[in-house]
Structure 1
Amino acid sequence: MNYKGFLLIILFVVTDYTLAQQKTISANEAVALALEHNYGIKLASNELAVAENNKSVLNSGYLPTLVGNAGSAFNIDNTEAEFSNGSSTVLNGAESSRYNASINLNYTLFDGLGRSYNYKQLKLRYQLSELEARETIENTVFQLFTIYYNVAQLTENTSALKQTLQITKDRLLRSEYQFEYGQNTKLAVLNAEVDIINDSINLINTKQELINIKRDLNVVLGNTLTDNFSVDTEVDFNNLYSKAELFEKAKSRNVALLQIEKNISISGLDVKSGKSAYLPTVGLTGTYGWNKNNNNAASFVAVSTSTGVSGGLNLSWNLFDGGSTITRVKNSKINLESQLLQKEQLEIGLQRDFNNAWDAYQNALNIYQMQESNIVTSKNNFDRTEEKFKIGQVNSIEFRQAQINLLNAELSRNQMKFEAKLAELQLLQLCGELLNVEF
């Protein structure tokens, strides 16, 4: 064997040893890492925390406002004063000062139920944010598995290509021996060398694809893994037998449908909140104040200090605001109608998407099972061809064709296995069950 071939063997031995040392990340471990470290999920969690703060009673308008005020003033005046008894005085640079402090309470007793509807809206918006966070998690998990199973497929493809390369190397060695003993021509050796180069290139390209897609997976996982990791290539399919039962789950748990239902509820409250502007507002006010005046000599009172409490009710009724409230209520009703139309549209689209996903899953599963059978046939065909090749009943071209047929069958089987699993996960996502199954 030439020097180049020897280097290739050393390279693949080192690579195999490296792969053997890799840590295998299971599907469940990958999901756990994504939930903890994925940046999209972290951002969604922050948005949910904001929505939780907004739904607090502190943001509801139900609590009173309490404002403290304080002030002081200092004057220097030139004053000429004439009193009622006919006397007069002139003051130059007369000093006077005033001080005050107060605490003011304002509380809305009734605002036409507007804040009640607004408070309910805030709670619904929090629930909507929960659904949006769930949607982000579902999309991230599905993206994770799209990449995860791509890694698994390329891992299995790499194994198949390595096996193919090894078979071609054995063929080259046999062809060289046969040529040395005059049992074959140089053409068989050259054909084997060409096939080794082609198989080596295919393996190198696939390994590079595997390295790249591993980097993509690590990004989804928040860059928590080292380069030296592998994934579990075994796939377990869930028992999804009842199409009708799954569709009922889709109608009750699909995250997009649940979001539009929350938006409909929010729009309904928006209409009621707009109508509350037709009613009066009743408020309570209270003040506790302290005042002190230091007057100049021209005043009858030199110093005065007062403290006191005052309170009152006020009523405000916007009898006509130029029609803005009427317009706002009309637009809210139109928006509610639009939300209802969107729900109908979404239900129709959901039924179509569910049927497509169900058919895609069933077809992919059936094709995968057929590919499994095809592997057995291709393997038997290759084994028989190999036996005949060893005793000279089959030439190298026929042997190579059987080898390629087996490789193609293995690559197709790998592809359909993971396509079937992704089709299953897409169906579960439509049904709102993606986060409720074991992977």
Structure 2
Amino acid sequence: MRKHIINTLSVFLISTTFYAQEVLSKQKAFELTMANNFDIKVIKNNLAIAENNKSIYNSGYLPSITGNVGARYTNNDTDIEFQDGTLNSVAGAESENYNASIGLNYVIFNGFSRQNTFKRLKESYNLSELQARQVMENTIITLFIAYYEVGRLTENEITQKAALTISKKRLERAKYGFDYGQRTKLDVLNAEVDVNNDSISYIDIQRQLNNAKRDLNVVLGRDVNTAVMVDTNVLYDLKMNLADISKEARNKNANLLQSKKNIELSKLDVKINQAGWMPNVGLTSSYAWNRNTGDATNAFSPISNTQTGLSAGVNLTWNLFDGGRTRTNVKNAKIAVANQEIRKAQLQDQLDRDVNNAWETYQNRLFALKAQEQNVITSTLNFERSNERFKLGQISSIDFRQAQVNLINAELSRNNAKFVAKNAELQLLQLAGIILDHNNF
């Protein structure tokens, strides 16, 4: 009874230790990445810069106002000789000058350059949004590749640990059989070699798993040595079809949308350069105050003088010929539009190819997963039968080991196929431009 209680307590403690660490869900991993990932933080800052740039304060629509204030002091000795020969000398004549002014300059018309430049700033912000979205998509792909790699190696560790346990039991039986003359020394040596090989494989998988966890923590933007366990359950979106994915890709793919936005920006560049053929109309206005005080150098010299004044004006400038610079800029801008349209057509063809390739890859991965799952079932049945026959002495240790290795390889291949298929699905969702809207990671 006491032994039973001790065994039960041991199982409870092991289970408590295993589950004390919270499993990092896929949704939680997504949220942590969006909040903490360094690349996403940088792209958010870049987006904030683009938002500042599209402000009316950066558009040229507002006037410029400048203020000037000045003061001057002089101390002069003056000698004056009149026509009648009279001399007048003034020593240490002081004078002071104070002035202040405020001026306003405003561009009334500049060939629609200002309007089109403002539109370009807004479109540049929209392009920055698409670039930010692409960075987020790439980061999410990186996240779940790392997440599922931890999942794959976690299951591989379980598989290899089970194999090591079986090999250790086989070694115990071989030693026991050898002691009682039922097994040869060769059986014991073969069992020892297999235990050593399985131990090496188990330790190496643990190393790979620890490395993968550190890789995941880097993507999550937290300390690399943070303990982490992942959800190894994988769900596939089997309702997807090629027609819908292709349609989504044509409308939502981040690269294609950026190409379309670049065409719009290039067309605005044409209009901005065409403004060089148009006149510029500007408004200027100023208000000034000026005061002079000083010692009189003669009877007619004032001791103070104050002036105030308001001025305003309109000016028109028209560059009638600039040596052909505007003409050249407009022609080059139109060629840039043509290049962007060619680039868009190229991206469209490449996207159609990539979607079809990704779809076929995804279907092949799903088929491979089903085949590997069947291989696990078959290898498990074969191992169970081999194990029974080995216990009865009907097969050799070599045949038993082969059945065990076949089962190990089948389970490892199944684990790999399971997560490779999911990664193929995520790549397909990214091409379709819907990975950030998808909730089945």
Report TM bin, short chain: over 0.9
Structure-2 residue corresponding to 1:419:
420
Structure-2 residue corresponding to 1:389:
390
The 5 Å alignment of 1:220-239 reads 220-224=219-223, 226-239=225-238
- Residues 54 and 122, structure 1, Cα contact 8 Å, conserved in 2: yes
Structure-1 residue corresponding to 2:283:
284
- What is the letter of the counterpart of residue 353 of structure 1? D
Distance in 2, Cα, partners of 1:85 & 1:293: 30
What 5-or-longer segments of structure 2 have no aligned partner? 1-12
Which SS does the other structure have where 2:226 is aligned?
coil
Structure-2 residue corresponding to 1:8:
none
Deviation at 1:83, TM superposition (A): 5.5
Deviation at 1:227, TM superposition (A): 3.3
- Residues 281 and 317, structure 2, Cα contact 8 Å, conserved in 1: yes
Distance in 1, Cα, partners of 2:355 & 2:16: 45
- What is the letter of the counterpart of residue 319 of structure 2? N
Which SS does the other structure have where 1:284 is aligned?
strand
Deviation per residue, 1:304-328 (Å, 9 max, x gap): 1011211111111111222222222
Deviation per residue, 1:141-188 (Å, 9 max, x gap): 101111111111000000000010111111112212221221121111
The 5 Å alignment of 1:108-257 reads 108-224=107-223, 226-257=225-256
Q: 1:200 to 1:167 in 2, by over 3 A?
A: same
Deviation at 1:73, TM superposition (A): 1.4
Deviation per residue, 1:253-300 (Å, 9 max, x gap): 000011111111011001000001111111111111100011442363
Matched, 1:307 2:308: yes
The 5 Å alignment of 1:424-439 reads 424-438=425-439, 439=441
- Residues 24 and 230, structure 1, Cα contact 8 Å, conserved in 2: yes
Distance in 2, Cα, partners of 1:188 & 1:29: 50
Distance in 1, Cα, partners of 2:402 & 2:383: 9
- What is the letter of the counterpart of residue 307 of structure 1? T
Distance in 1, Cα, partners of 2:232 & 2:143: 15
Distance in 2, Cα, partners of 1:324 & 1:18: 76
The 5 Å alignment of 1:265-414 reads 265-298=264-297, 300-414=301-415
Distance in 1, Cα, partners of 2:189 & 2:71: 104
Q: 1:20 to 1:169 in 2, by over 3 A?
A: farther
- Residues 147 and 230, structure 2, Cα contact 8 Å, conserved in 1: yes
Identity %: 50
Distance in 2, Cα, partners of 1:15 & 1:152: 21
Which SS does the other structure have where 1:301 is aligned?
coil
- What is the letter of the counterpart of residue 307 of structure 2? S
- What is the letter of the counterpart of residue 156 of structure 2? N
Distance in 1, Cα, partners of 2:210 & 2:187: 35
Deviation at 1:82, TM superposition (A): 4.5
Between the two proteins, the alignment pairs up a number of residues equal to 427
- What is the letter of the counterpart of residue 394 of structure 2? Q
What 5-or-longer segments of structure 1 have no aligned partner? 1-13
- What is the letter of the counterpart of residue 311 of structure 2? S
Which SS does the other structure have where 1:412 is aligned?
helix
- What is the letter of the counterpart of residue 425 of structure 1? L
- What is the letter of the counterpart of residue 348 of structure 1? D
Deviation at 1:87, TM superposition (A): 5.1
Distance in 2, Cα, partners of 1:306 & 1:319: 40
Deviation at 1:78, TM superposition (A): 2.5
Which SS does the other structure have where 1:310 is aligned?
strand
- What is the letter of the counterpart of residue 176 of structure 2? Y
Deviation per residue, 1:15-39 (Å, 9 max, x gap): 9986544321111111111100001
Which SS does the other structure have where 2:368 is aligned?
helix
Distance in 2, Cα, partners of 1:15 & 1:358: 43
Distance in 2, Cα, partners of 1:119 & 1:186: 87
- What is the letter of the counterpart of residue 206 of structure 1? I
Which stretches of structure 1, 4 residues or longer, exceed 4 Å deviation after superposition?
14-20, 82-88
Distance in 2, Cα, partners of 1:258 & 1:179: 73
Which SS does the other structure have where 1:307 is aligned?
strand
- What is the letter of the counterpart of residue 32 of structure 1? E
Deviation per residue, 1:32-73 (Å, 9 max, x gap): 111000010000000000000000001100001111101111
Structure-1 residue corresponding to 2:8:
none
- Residues 289 and 308, structure 2, Cα contact 8 Å, conserved in 1: yes
Distance in 2, Cα, partners of 1:54 & 1:82: 65
Deviation per residue, 1:363-406 (Å, 9 max, x gap): 00110011111111111111111111111111111110000000
- Residues 23 and 228, structure 1, Cα contact 8 Å, conserved in 2: no
- Residues 214 and 224, structure 2, Cα contact 8 Å, conserved in 1: no
Which SS does the other structure have where 1:434 is aligned?
coil
Root-mean-square deviation (Å): 1.8
- What is the letter of the counterpart of residue 309 of structure 2? G
- Residues 37 and 224, structure 1, Cα contact 8 Å, conserved in 2: no
Which SS does the other structure have where 1:435 is aligned?
coil
What TM-score, normalized by structure 1, do the two folds share? 0.94
Distance in 2, Cα, partners of 1:102 & 1:65: 14
Distance in 2, Cα, partners of 1:19 & 1:200: 21
Distance in 2, Cα, partners of 1:199 & 1:160: 11
Q: 1:109 to 1:149 in 2, by over 3 A?
A: same
- Residues 101 and 288, structure 2, Cα contact 8 Å, conserved in 1: yes
- What is the letter of the counterpart of residue 371 of structure 1? Q
Deviation at 1:88, TM superposition (A): 4.6
Structure-2 residue corresponding to 1:10:
none
Which SS does the other structure have where 1:32 is aligned?
helix
- What is the letter of the counterpart of residue 176 of structure 1? K
